[in-house]
Amino acid sequence: MPPSDPHSPHSDSSIMDLLHACPETSRFHDFIKKDKEIYDYLNDRKSNVTVFAPTNKAFELLDRCSKGHDIPPELLKRVLLYHMVEGTHGSQDLRYHNTIATKLSEDKLGGGHHQRLRIGLSHDGPTLNFYAVFKMFDSFVDNGVVHAIDSILLPPPSVIDILQYLPTEFSTTETAFHRTGLLHELSKKSLTDDDDNGTPFTLFAPSNRDWQKLGFAANAFLFSDWGLPYLKAIMKYHIVPGELLYSDAWIKGRHHHHSNGPNTAYDDRGDSSGNRGHNSDILNPVVPEEMLKGWGELRKRDERDDAHGLLHGYSHVQLPTLLKERTLSVDVTRLERFLSFRVNGLTSVVISDAPARNGVLQVPDHVLIPPHSLEEHHDPPEMAEEEVEAWKRGEMPVTLLKAILEPWVEE
């Protein structure tokens, strides 16, 4: 684990004073000086902000890539804002977050919601967005706190770009979306006629290994011309339009209207009237009271500083999908850094909360197949002998797959 600043707190100092005084953050200080608005904000003793400050070594790659080129002011502002979080979040507070909202307002997230950072763990210690490793925690000053990191935080690219940048993980999913045209359609289509930023969405993105689990026959059928309508039905079931579900936050779009139907969260914050919290979708406690003993302080953390936060403990969320009348049933259990994130009861999310410019990616451990009726489950269609053997091996028989997806196939 990285050390905490032994000289903290730095009394009678602002964040800019600290960045200027520390030789390891002089490059970051110089970049901030190029934006007067941000400089004044971080120099104001009345501000209350957390800054993730890249060390000078983090700028070496930038120097090689941008040598002889000035960074456009608008891009610089976006990058700087992505290093800042409203409020003072010490290291003890950060461990209660899986994600945290930055000062960067992102139009493509719908309604100008703020882009998030993913807080995770690697063999090198705590990380931000998978790659930035913390070098020092908790340099407290009069107007907030500074944490040192070893990389510059770049605002994330779009969902489509992320899939394309990681072909060893998502080439099959990217091909599926390319053949069906769903992601490109969603990126261009808006929920209103006066908004050209597209629809923000949560994407459950199966990895290449997940597709292999379906078996050769199912993949050959789905990616053929004959199977394209069935492939489109499956991919629709992986897209949650207009809503962003993280493992610790649920952001419903500005066009969302609460109902007691598919958009409901169950956790331990109170009743559906919203009397005990900021989220109007609150129902009765689910976690047994004896399990919550000693967690009083822990369970207050997210509610204090995240307007969209899901509290520690257990939460259940029903999410709409692009597949008509079929929702995703999501169960999240969080206890500090422990996370259980399941979809439809059986499928685990193995990589959570990858932020994107127009949404968020969650990676399940199986391709999501829409639920089918109890009658269909106990009385499956007649299958050839080789399909029965494939089913016993855990693969998906084509006959069964077609029967499940038939109601949602578009001609």
User: Quick one: which of 154, 207, 182, 178 has its CA closest to 361?
Assistant: 207
pLDDT in tens, 18-72: 999 999 999 999 999 999 999 999 999 999 999 999 999 999 888 887 776 788 9
Query: Does residue 290 carry a pLDDT above 80?
Result: no
Which tens digits make up the pLDDT trace of 346-378?
899 999 999 999 999 999 999 999 987 645 555
CA distance to 43, 129, 203, 366, per residue, from 342 (Å): 44, 21, 14, 11
- CATH among 1.10.3720.10, 2.30.180.10, 3.40.50.2300, 3.40.50.10440 for 159-364: 2.30.180.10
The rounded Cα 142 to chain-centroid distance in angstroms is 31
Q: How far apart are CA 306 and CA 99, in angstroms?
A: 10
Does residue 176 register a pLDDT over 90?
yes
Q: Where are the domains of the chain?
A: 15-149, 159-364
Topology alike, domains 15-149 and 159-364: yes
Question: Residue 119 in contact with residue 134, Cβ under 8 Å?
Answer: no
Neighbours of 410 (CB within 10 A): 8
Q: How much is the pTM?
A: 0.83
More confident residue, 220 or 8: 220
Overall fold of domain 15-149: FAS1 domain (2.30.180)
Hey, what are 68's tokens? 């002889």
**Which range is least confidently modeled, 87-96, 289-298, 310-319?**
289-298
The whole-angstrom separation of Cα 351 and Cα 48 is: 32
Q: Of the ranges 19-23, 200-204, 298-302, which one carries the lowest mean pLDDT score?
A: 298-302
The radius of gyration of the chain's CA atoms, rounded to the nearest angstrom, is: 23
